[in-house]
A and B are shown apart, each in its own frame.
Chain A
Amino acid sequence: AQTVTQSQPEMSVQEAETVTLSCTYDTSESNYYLFWYKQPPSRQMILVIRQEAYKQQNATENRFSVNFQKAAKSFSLKISDSQLGDTAMYFCAFKETSGSRLTFGEGTQLTVNP
């Protein structure tokens, strides 16, 4: 079974600064998808960014980018120019190409301080 590990339960950053959240996973599959979801205090699950394992280029969405290291099975999220609205729980998630389910990490609570 796939496992996803987020080793940082909590992180904080000053507004306008950059922060990186870590995620590692374990799988024997060669093709899969990785995601970062954000869960603010409203508890809505919001897709932040996705990465296909067969793509070497790291995904980017505005201030959010990933560092995907397939051999190391690492998938970190970098948030640039942090904003107060980025305060949320961030979940890393894994999905097999052939499967349905998302497997989530334990989450990292990010606090952006003014």
Chain B
Amino acid sequence: AAGVIQSPRHLIKEKRETATLKCYPIPRHDTVYWYQQGPGQDPQFLISFYEKMQSDKGSIPDRFSAQQFSDYHSELNMSSLELGDSALYFCASSEKGGGRETQYFGPGTRLLVL
């Protein structure tokens, strides 16, 4: 079965640089979610989109922005990167209708800020 696709899988950036993470949800899934997992931590919710509209917002820094496109893929844009942004970034997606509450995660993007 098709899974959530995230790219790139690994990313190394310098402080103050910009990064863009991409997420392609499971086919027919209309909702995407972004989470950040620091070393030794549990995932923290950043933001979610349903039908291209922001549906919920968590602890996402103002330096970050995200959007969902007409084909339902999503991008997380991160500017003025800081050392503390080094983390594993997950995208998850959920399907229409009654199955909406179950989120399926992608493999994650490992971001290292030097």
Contacts and interface: CB of A to CB of B under 8 A. Distances in A.
Interface string B79-114: 000000000101010000000011111011000000
Interface string B14-56: 0000000000000000010101010000111100101000011
Interface residues of A, number: 22
A11 interface: no
Contact of B101 (A97, A103, A105): A97
Contact of A45 (B43, B45, B101): B43
Contacts of A106: 42
Contacts of B56: 99-101
Interface residues of B, number: 23
B54 to A, nearest CB: 10
A95 interface: yes
A50 B99 CA distance: 11
Interface string A46-73: 1100100000000000000000000000
B101 A95 contact: yes
B31 A100 contact: yes
B24 to A, nearest CB: 16
